[in-house]
Structure 1
Amino acid sequence: MGDLSVRLEWVLIPMFCSLTGYTPKAVTRKIGDGVWLRGKHYQKAPDGRITINLQRYYEWVEGQRPTQ
């Protein structure tokens, strides 16, 4: 059988909030205030919805500088 593992990297705001406990308002505030950077912490999908990068979020929480 093939590998059925799933790697979540980019998730929509509702899933991110479900996983972390942040509210959608807190997420949009971090984006609006420039705490999270477009292309690193979040990105707009082709349909215009905002996705959050989980790995970059973990780095932010741990106080690590994001890698390129």
Structure 2
Amino acid sequence: MKWVTIRRFSELSGYSAEAVRSKIKKGVWKYKVHFRKAPDGRVLINIEEIEKWVESIPV
């Protein structure tokens, strides 16, 4: 599945829901790339794009 809720993303990644919301609020993750709002208003996280973001960080 490409898009998951913040809760599910937290379970899979180890990032807390608070950390996810902080990245969204600070603009670290981009709207319609890393996250978006579903028609019902829930925030969904794009797992594929977050993996690319993680891999882009220099070691």
Same fold per superposition (TM over 0.5): yes
The answer for the alignment partner of 1:49 in structure 2 is 42
* Structure in which a larger fraction of residues adopt helix: 2
Q: Letter of the 1:12 partner, please give it.
A: T
Give 4+ residue runs of structure 1 displaced > 2 Å after superposition: none
Identity of aligned residues (%): 46
Q: How many residues align?
A: 57
Structure showing greater relative contact order (alpha-carbon pairs closer than 8 Å, 6 or more residues apart): 2
Give the unaligned 5+ runs of structure 2.
Answer: none
Unaligned runs of 5+ in 1: 1-7
Q: Tell me, in whole angstroms, the C-alpha distance in 2 between the residues paired with 1:54 and 1:14.
A: 13
CA RMSD of aligned residues (A): 1.0
Q: How far apart in 2 are the matches of 1:57 and 1:39?
A: 12
